[in-house]
Amino acid sequence: MNLTLDPAIAARLAADTSLWRDFNDICDCGGRLAGTESEKKAFALLRERVRAASPANSGRSIPVPYNGWKPKSASLRLPSGAMAACHPLVRTIATPKGGLTAEVIDLGRGTPDEFAEHAAEIKGRIALVRHELMFAAGTIHRRRKYDAARAAGAVGFLIGGPLQGHVVAGSSGRDTGAGIPALGIAPETAAKLARTAAGWPTVTMTIETDEGPAETETLVYDYPGTSDEWVVLSAHVDGHDLAESAMDNGSGLASVLAVTRALSPHVAKYRRGLRVMFFSVEEWALTGSAQYVQALSEAERRKIALNVNLDSVAGSPNLAALSSGYAGVEPFMLRVAEANGQSLRAVRPLMTNSDHANFAAGGIPALRLVAGFDDPNAHLRVVLTPADTRDKVAQSELRQATLLTAALTAAACNADPAEAAKWRVRSS
Ligand SMILES: [Zn+2]
């Protein structure tokens, strides 16, 4: 099996100046929060760039109905009476008109232990936890902390961000129905909300929102191979409206566009076809990809040999592939990386932090390529803050991730059936 990317394709990718242009143009669309003009602009841009790469392929759009949500205003009044910067978490409920006034209980990082130890004190108070580096082993996802706060009877939720001077965004994980008001705040604001000799500090959260049915889309471009099997290459379009969502996930989108340009003229000769997918409402509990995988029959799922999902692939030169419990795909991806002169770290546990998780849960081998895994100093630590801007990404990092993606995708398209069968073997 030839695992080395065709030198002509590699040379083309190495010289593709559109990679950096696309990345900047995607960032220029803005933060791409689902339901905004910024998200629509990004979809239009992706359509235009894929059309330029393969004019004969008009693709298809799958409608994605979801529960729309728009923040109208948010504020946080501190015990001193001063107002602190804050950011409403996606799909947070609104507060009553006059706001929600309650004591804040600081639960530190917000581990299950901390929630358990304070179980008797959380009811009727606002739970304060901390945002964690998302790309690390043992990370406790914000949504789990939000759920723990609700389960313990908290009336509100505050999460302190990782970067001084900056609030943090993210999703509450709520869909419709009951919930508690949830705001992202800056770390120095969280520091002001510690319990003191005087007791727990009292704050007022005020949030106004608009909710109602909404619709976005999943964009799909099929480039058939010689069989009816597929390799799905995916990235999510949406982000948060704090900045330009550059690392998360302008980097993944630009890489997917470049790989599409480089591979699409060749796929007809490959064993498996290339299915390029752009998902949205990823930041809303992975909704776009969840709907896609749920709608696939068992037979269709078996025809997808592998999902290669790019999410936050630049911002650090160190790349990891999250194999999502599919131990059988690890030797393949490591051999491809080595054959193409790249280092790659394999991380096995399924992390439900991007669209690959829905493929994996649906029985389809899936991996997420991510930069800066387990590196607390990587720029990736500021993902979901206003500092997720294009200056955090080096051209060389984006190029390297793109070359590795092209190599993995082409090798997966060409792998023989015995090799592809191994990918479906799970660790448990
Ligand atoms: Zn992402």
Give the pLDDT confidence score for residue 69 in this predicted structure: 94
Q: How far is the CA of 283 from the centre of ligand 1 (A)?
A: 7
Give the pLDDT confidence score for residue 380 in this predicted structure: 93
Quote the tokens at residue 369: 């390529």
Based on DSSP, count helices (H) and strands (E) in the chain, helices before strands.
Answer: 14, 14
Q: How far is the CA of 309 from the centre of ligand 1 (A)?
A: 10
CA geometry: angle at 287 spanning 289 and 177, to 5°? Answer: 160
Q: How far is the CA of 406 from the centre of ligand 1 (A)?
A: 20
Which amino acid would we find at residue 381? R
- pLDDT at 428 exceeding the cut of 80: no
Q: How far is the CA of 208 from the centre of ligand 1 (A)?
A: 26
Convert the pLDDT of each residue in 163-199 to its tens digit.
Answer: 999 999 999 988 888 999 999 999 999 999 999 999 9
Quote the tokens at residue 256: 């997917």
**For a pLDDT cut of 70, what percent of the chain falls above it?**
100
Place of tokens 């933060």: 31
Rg of the chain (C-alpha set): 22
**For a pLDDT cut of 90, what percent of the chain falls above it?**
92
Convert the pLDDT of each residue in 23-44 to its tens digit.
Answer: 999 999 999 999 999 999 999 9
Q: How far is the CA of 198 from the centre of ligand 1 (A)?
A: 41
Q: How far is the CA of 192 from the centre of ligand 1 (A)?
A: 30
Query: Could you tell me what percentage of the chain is helix, strand and coil, using 3-state DSSP and rounding each to the nearest 5?
Result: 35, 25, 40
Mean pLDDT on 371-393? 94
- pLDDT at 205 exceeding the cut of 80: yes
3-state secondary structure of 353: coil
Q: How far is the CA of 12 from the centre of ligand 1 (A)?
A: 27
- pLDDT at 53 exceeding the cut of 90: yes
Convert the pLDDT of each residue in 288-326 to its tens digit.
Answer: 999 999 999 999 999 999 999 999 999 999 999 999 999
pTM, rounded to two decimals = 0.94
Convert the pLDDT of each residue in 86-140 to its tens digit.
Answer: 999 999 999 999 999 999 999 999 999 999 999 999 999 999 999 998 778 888 9
Question: How does DSSP assign 368-399, residue by residue?
Answer: EEEESTT-TTSGGGGTTSTT--GGG--HHHHH
Q: How far is the CA of 114 from the centre of ligand 1 (A)?
A: 28
Convert the pLDDT of each residue in 364-374 to its tens digit.
Answer: 999 999 999 99
Q: How far is the CA of 354 from the centre of ligand 1 (A)?
A: 6
Give the pLDDT confidence score for residue 288 in this predicted structure: 96
Task: Kindly report the backbone phi and psi dihedral angles of residue 34, in degrees, each rounded to the nearest multiple of 5, phi listed first.
Answer: -55, 135
Question: How does DSSP assign 189-258, residue by residue?
Answer: HHHTT--BTTBS-EEEEEEEEEEEEEEEEEEEEEE--SSS-EEEEEEE----TTS--IIIIIIHHHHHHH
Q: How far is the CA of 236 from the centre of ligand 1 (A)?
A: 7
For residues 277 and 220, give the distance between their C-alpha atoms in angstroms, rounded to a whole number: 5
Give the pLDDT confidence score for residue 221 in this predicted structure: 98
